[in-house]
Amino acid sequence: MGKTKGKTENKDLTPNEKVNLQADMRRFGYLLPTNDDELEEFNKIFGKTQVIFPEHLKRPSFLQGQSGSESVKSIKTEKVVSLKSNDSPKPTKTKNDYFKRLVLAAEIANRLHGEPTFGHVKFVKVYLLCDKICEMNLNSSYGRYAAGPLDPIQMRAFDAQFKRKRWFTVTRTHYGAYKYTPDEKVGEYQVWYERYFKNQLEDIEKVIELFRKKSSDFCEIVATIFFLWMDFNSNHKLVNNASLIKDFYEWDERKKRFTEKEILQAIDWMNEHGIVPTLNK
Protein backbone atom coordinates (compact mmCIF):
# COMPACT_ATOMS: atom_id res chain seq x y z
CA MET A 1 0.00 0.00 0.00
CA GLY A 2 1.49 3.34 -1.02
CA LYS A 3 1.96 6.16 1.50
CA THR A 4 1.05 9.76 0.86
CA LYS A 5 3.88 12.07 1.90
CA GLY A 6 3.72 15.74 2.85
CA LYS A 7 0.02 15.74 3.72
CA THR A 8 -1.42 16.46 7.14
CA GLU A 9 -5.01 16.36 8.31
CA ASN A 10 -6.48 19.89 8.39
CA LYS A 11 -8.56 19.75 11.56
CA ASP A 12 -10.04 22.86 13.22
CA LEU A 13 -9.81 23.26 16.96
CA THR A 14 -12.97 22.65 18.92
CA PRO A 15 -14.48 25.62 20.85
CA ASN A 16 -13.16 24.16 24.12
CA GLU A 17 -9.68 23.71 22.67
CA LYS A 18 -9.70 27.34 21.50
CA VAL A 19 -10.73 28.56 24.96
CA ASN A 20 -8.01 26.45 26.61
CA LEU A 21 -5.38 27.67 24.16
CA GLN A 22 -6.32 31.31 24.79
CA ALA A 23 -6.17 30.71 28.56
CA ASP A 24 -2.68 29.20 28.21
CA MET A 25 -1.51 32.14 26.11
CA ARG A 26 -2.79 34.61 28.71
CA ARG A 27 -0.95 32.74 31.46
CA PHE A 28 2.30 33.01 29.50
CA GLY A 29 1.87 36.74 28.87
CA TYR A 30 0.32 36.70 25.39
CA LEU A 31 -2.79 38.90 25.51
CA LEU A 32 -3.79 39.08 21.88
CA PRO A 33 -5.47 42.33 20.83
CA THR A 34 -8.86 42.11 19.14
CA ASN A 35 -9.20 45.71 17.90
CA ASP A 36 -7.04 48.73 17.09
CA ASP A 37 -7.23 50.25 20.58
CA GLU A 38 -6.10 47.05 22.26
CA LEU A 39 -3.35 46.64 19.65
CA GLU A 40 -2.09 50.13 20.47
CA GLU A 41 -2.05 49.27 24.19
CA PHE A 42 -0.27 45.96 23.49
CA ASN A 43 2.46 47.72 21.49
CA LYS A 44 2.85 50.43 24.14
CA ILE A 45 3.36 47.89 26.93
CA PHE A 46 5.59 45.32 25.24
CA GLY A 47 8.27 47.47 23.61
CA LYS A 48 9.94 47.12 20.22
CA THR A 49 11.04 43.50 19.67
CA GLN A 50 9.00 42.42 16.66
CA VAL A 51 7.22 39.10 16.58
CA ILE A 52 4.89 38.21 13.72
CA PHE A 53 2.03 35.95 14.72
CA PRO A 54 0.66 33.29 12.34
CA GLU A 55 -2.22 34.58 10.28
CA HIS A 56 -4.83 32.33 11.92
CA LEU A 57 -3.97 33.81 15.33
CA LYS A 58 -4.74 37.31 14.05
CA ARG A 59 -8.27 36.49 12.94
CA PRO A 60 -10.92 37.87 15.32
CA SER A 61 -12.96 34.71 14.68
CA PHE A 62 -10.17 32.70 16.33
CA LEU A 63 -9.56 35.17 19.15
CA GLN A 64 -13.23 35.41 20.10
CA GLY A 65 -14.09 31.71 19.65
CA GLN A 66 -16.44 32.37 16.73
CA SER A 67 -16.91 30.32 13.56
CA GLY A 68 -15.50 31.57 10.31
CA SER A 69 -18.98 32.10 8.91
CA GLU A 70 -19.77 34.88 11.37
CA SER A 71 -19.10 38.45 10.32
CA VAL A 72 -16.61 40.15 12.64
CA LYS A 73 -14.87 43.48 12.25
CA SER A 74 -11.25 42.66 11.43
CA ILE A 75 -8.18 44.14 13.05
CA LYS A 76 -5.42 45.42 10.79
CA THR A 77 -3.22 42.35 10.50
CA GLU A 78 -0.44 44.17 8.71
CA LYS A 79 0.51 45.72 12.03
CA VAL A 80 3.25 43.88 13.93
CA VAL A 81 2.76 42.92 17.58
CA SER A 82 5.80 43.43 19.78
CA LEU A 83 7.14 41.80 22.93
CA LYS A 84 8.59 43.56 25.96
CA SER A 85 12.33 44.11 26.00
CA ASN A 86 14.45 43.96 29.16
CA ASP A 87 14.48 47.74 29.46
CA SER A 88 10.91 48.83 30.21
CA PRO A 89 10.09 52.10 28.42
CA LYS A 90 8.78 54.94 30.53
CA PRO A 91 4.99 55.26 30.27
CA THR A 92 3.81 58.11 28.11
CA LYS A 93 0.50 59.95 28.11
CA THR A 94 -1.75 58.99 25.25
CA LYS A 95 -5.37 59.47 24.31
CA ASN A 96 -5.83 55.77 25.09
CA ASP A 97 -5.46 56.24 28.85
CA TYR A 98 -9.13 55.20 28.97
CA PHE A 99 -8.21 51.49 29.05
CA LYS A 100 -5.81 52.14 31.92
CA ARG A 101 -8.63 53.81 33.85
CA LEU A 102 -10.91 50.87 33.11
CA VAL A 103 -8.33 48.42 34.47
CA LEU A 104 -7.98 50.38 37.72
CA ALA A 105 -11.76 50.48 38.06
CA ALA A 106 -11.87 46.69 37.56
CA GLU A 107 -9.39 46.15 40.37
CA ILE A 108 -11.44 48.31 42.75
CA ALA A 109 -14.65 46.50 41.82
CA ASN A 110 -13.00 43.11 42.15
CA ARG A 111 -11.62 43.92 45.61
CA LEU A 112 -14.73 45.57 47.04
CA HIS A 113 -17.74 43.99 45.28
CA GLY A 114 -18.48 41.79 48.29
CA GLU A 115 -18.87 44.71 50.69
CA PRO A 116 -22.50 45.65 51.40
CA THR A 117 -21.53 49.35 51.26
CA PHE A 118 -20.07 49.11 47.75
CA GLY A 119 -22.13 50.84 45.06
CA HIS A 120 -21.72 53.76 42.66
CA VAL A 121 -21.06 56.39 45.34
CA LYS A 122 -18.33 54.44 47.10
CA PHE A 123 -16.93 53.17 43.78
CA VAL A 124 -16.49 56.66 42.36
CA LYS A 125 -14.96 58.06 45.54
CA VAL A 126 -12.44 55.24 46.04
CA TYR A 127 -11.46 55.50 42.35
CA LEU A 128 -10.92 59.27 42.64
CA LEU A 129 -8.79 58.88 45.78
CA CYS A 130 -6.67 56.13 44.21
CA ASP A 131 -6.15 58.37 41.17
CA LYS A 132 -5.19 61.45 43.16
CA ILE A 133 -3.36 60.03 46.18
CA CYS A 134 -1.25 57.67 44.06
CA GLU A 135 -0.64 60.53 41.57
CA MET A 136 -1.64 58.51 38.50
CA ASN A 137 -2.64 61.44 36.28
CA LEU A 138 -5.44 59.42 34.68
CA ASN A 139 -7.11 62.52 33.20
CA SER A 140 -10.59 61.86 34.58
CA SER A 141 -12.89 64.89 34.46
CA TYR A 142 -14.49 65.36 37.85
CA GLY A 143 -17.34 67.80 38.28
CA ARG A 144 -19.30 69.02 41.30
CA TYR A 145 -22.38 66.92 41.96
CA ALA A 146 -24.65 66.61 44.99
CA ALA A 147 -22.94 63.40 46.15
CA GLY A 148 -19.48 64.92 45.70
CA PRO A 149 -16.92 64.96 42.89
CA LEU A 150 -17.95 62.73 39.99
CA ASP A 151 -17.27 61.93 36.34
CA PRO A 152 -20.70 60.47 35.40
CA ILE A 153 -19.85 59.70 31.76
CA GLN A 154 -16.83 57.71 32.85
CA MET A 155 -18.83 55.76 35.44
CA ARG A 156 -21.45 54.77 32.87
CA ALA A 157 -18.68 53.76 30.46
CA PHE A 158 -17.08 51.55 33.10
CA ASP A 159 -20.38 49.73 33.68
CA ALA A 160 -20.92 49.24 29.95
CA GLN A 161 -17.39 47.96 29.34
CA PHE A 162 -17.52 45.62 32.33
CA LYS A 163 -20.59 43.98 30.83
CA ARG A 164 -19.27 43.98 27.25
CA LYS A 165 -15.95 42.40 28.23
CA ARG A 166 -17.73 40.03 30.65
CA TRP A 167 -15.55 41.14 33.54
CA PHE A 168 -18.54 41.93 35.78
CA THR A 169 -22.30 41.81 35.66
CA VAL A 170 -23.77 45.11 36.84
CA THR A 171 -27.25 45.04 38.29
CA ARG A 172 -29.41 47.63 39.96
CA THR A 173 -31.12 46.59 43.19
CA HIS A 174 -34.71 47.36 44.12
CA TYR A 175 -33.56 50.33 46.21
CA GLY A 176 -31.48 51.88 43.43
CA ALA A 177 -27.97 50.80 44.38
CA TYR A 178 -25.59 49.09 41.94
CA LYS A 179 -24.19 45.62 42.52
CA TYR A 180 -21.08 44.21 40.83
CA THR A 181 -20.58 40.46 40.41
CA PRO A 182 -17.40 39.00 38.81
CA ASP A 183 -18.15 37.44 35.43
CA GLU A 184 -16.38 34.59 33.62
CA LYS A 185 -13.62 36.73 32.04
CA VAL A 186 -12.78 38.90 35.06
CA GLY A 187 -9.24 37.48 35.16
CA GLU A 188 -8.36 39.19 31.86
CA TYR A 189 -7.84 42.61 33.43
CA GLN A 190 -5.36 41.39 36.05
CA VAL A 191 -2.33 40.99 33.76
CA TRP A 192 -2.86 44.54 32.50
CA TYR A 193 -3.30 45.82 36.06
CA GLU A 194 0.04 44.43 37.24
CA ARG A 195 1.82 45.95 34.23
CA TYR A 196 0.17 49.37 34.28
CA PHE A 197 0.44 49.92 38.03
CA LYS A 198 3.44 47.82 39.04
CA ASN A 199 5.00 50.81 40.86
CA GLN A 200 1.78 51.72 42.68
CA LEU A 201 0.36 48.36 43.77
CA GLU A 202 1.02 48.93 47.48
CA ASP A 203 -0.39 52.47 47.46
CA ILE A 204 -3.56 51.38 45.65
CA GLU A 205 -4.04 48.50 48.07
CA LYS A 206 -3.62 50.87 51.03
CA VAL A 207 -6.36 53.19 49.75
CA ILE A 208 -8.75 50.32 48.97
CA GLU A 209 -8.25 48.71 52.37
CA LEU A 210 -8.66 52.00 54.25
CA PHE A 211 -12.12 52.42 52.72
CA ARG A 212 -13.16 48.75 52.64
CA LYS A 213 -15.45 48.92 55.69
CA LYS A 214 -16.33 52.60 55.46
CA SER A 215 -19.86 53.73 54.65
CA SER A 216 -20.84 55.47 51.43
CA ASP A 217 -21.53 58.63 53.46
CA PHE A 218 -18.03 58.61 54.93
CA CYS A 219 -16.50 58.12 51.46
CA GLU A 220 -18.61 61.03 50.20
CA ILE A 221 -17.42 63.32 53.00
CA VAL A 222 -13.74 62.43 52.52
CA ALA A 223 -13.80 62.74 48.72
CA THR A 224 -15.56 66.12 48.89
CA ILE A 225 -13.11 67.47 51.46
CA PHE A 226 -10.20 66.12 49.42
CA PHE A 227 -11.52 67.83 46.29
CA LEU A 228 -11.96 71.14 48.15
CA TRP A 229 -8.50 70.82 49.65
CA MET A 230 -6.98 70.34 46.18
CA ASP A 231 -8.82 73.44 45.00
CA PHE A 232 -7.51 75.46 47.94
CA ASN A 233 -3.95 74.35 47.19
CA SER A 234 -4.31 75.19 43.49
CA ASN A 235 -5.55 78.69 44.30
CA HIS A 236 -3.12 79.24 47.20
CA LYS A 237 -5.96 79.63 49.66
CA LEU A 238 -5.74 79.08 53.41
CA VAL A 239 -6.55 75.47 54.36
CA ASN A 240 -7.89 74.86 57.84
CA ASN A 241 -10.86 73.13 59.44
CA ALA A 242 -13.02 76.23 59.35
CA SER A 243 -12.45 76.93 55.63
CA LEU A 244 -13.03 73.28 54.68
CA ILE A 245 -16.26 73.06 56.68
CA LYS A 246 -17.54 76.33 55.24
CA ASP A 247 -16.99 75.28 51.62
CA PHE A 248 -18.24 71.76 52.33
CA TYR A 249 -21.66 73.12 53.31
CA GLU A 250 -21.64 75.50 50.34
CA TRP A 251 -21.03 72.60 47.95
CA ASP A 252 -24.71 71.56 47.86
CA GLU A 253 -27.79 71.86 50.04
CA ARG A 254 -27.77 68.12 50.67
CA LYS A 255 -24.40 68.39 52.43
CA LYS A 256 -26.25 69.87 55.38
CA ARG A 257 -27.39 66.39 56.39
CA PHE A 258 -23.86 65.85 57.74
CA THR A 259 -22.98 67.30 61.15
CA GLU A 260 -19.94 69.45 61.78
CA LYS A 261 -18.69 66.72 64.12
CA GLU A 262 -18.78 64.16 61.27
CA ILE A 263 -16.81 66.49 59.01
CA LEU A 264 -14.17 67.19 61.69
CA GLN A 265 -13.82 63.46 62.40
CA ALA A 266 -13.29 62.82 58.69
CA ILE A 267 -10.62 65.56 58.49
CA ASP A 268 -8.80 64.09 61.50
CA TRP A 269 -8.97 60.61 59.93
CA MET A 270 -7.57 61.95 56.65
CA ASN A 271 -4.63 63.58 58.39
CA GLU A 272 -3.97 60.45 60.43
CA HIS A 273 -3.83 58.20 57.36
CA GLY A 274 -2.22 60.61 54.91
CA ILE A 275 -5.31 60.98 52.72
CA VAL A 276 -4.48 64.59 51.88
CA PRO A 277 -3.53 66.35 48.64
CA THR A 278 0.11 67.19 47.98
CA LEU A 279 1.01 70.84 47.65
CA ASN A 280 1.48 72.16 44.12
CA LYS A 281 5.11 72.58 43.24
Q: Which residues pair with 48 in a beta bridge?
A: none
List, in sequence order, every residue forming a beta bridge with 148; answer none if it has no partner. Answer: 145
Rounded to whole angstroms, the Cα distance separating 49 from 67 reads: 31
Beta strand segments in 105-257, E: 143-145, 148-150, 168-172, 178-182
Residues 106-132: tens digit of each pLDDT: 999 999 999 999 989 899 999 999 999
Residue 154 sits at the vertex; the CA angle it makes with 212 and 166, to the nearest 5 degrees, is 75
What average pLDDT does range 246-257 have in this prediction?
A: 95
67 band by pLDDT with thresholds 50, 70 and 90 = very low
The beta strands (E) that lie in 6-126 are given as 49-51, 81-83
Q: Is the pLDDT of residue 233 over 70?
A: yes
The overall average pLDDT reported for the chain is 76
Q: How many CB atoms lie within 10 A of CB 30?
A: 17
Tell me how far the alpha carbon of residue 191 is from its chain's centroid: 12
pLDDT tens profile 71-116: 333 333 333 332 233 333 344 445 468 899 999 999 999 999 999 9
* % of the chain residues with pLDDT over 90: 47
Q: Sketch the domain layout of the chain as residue ranges.
A: 15-83, 97-273
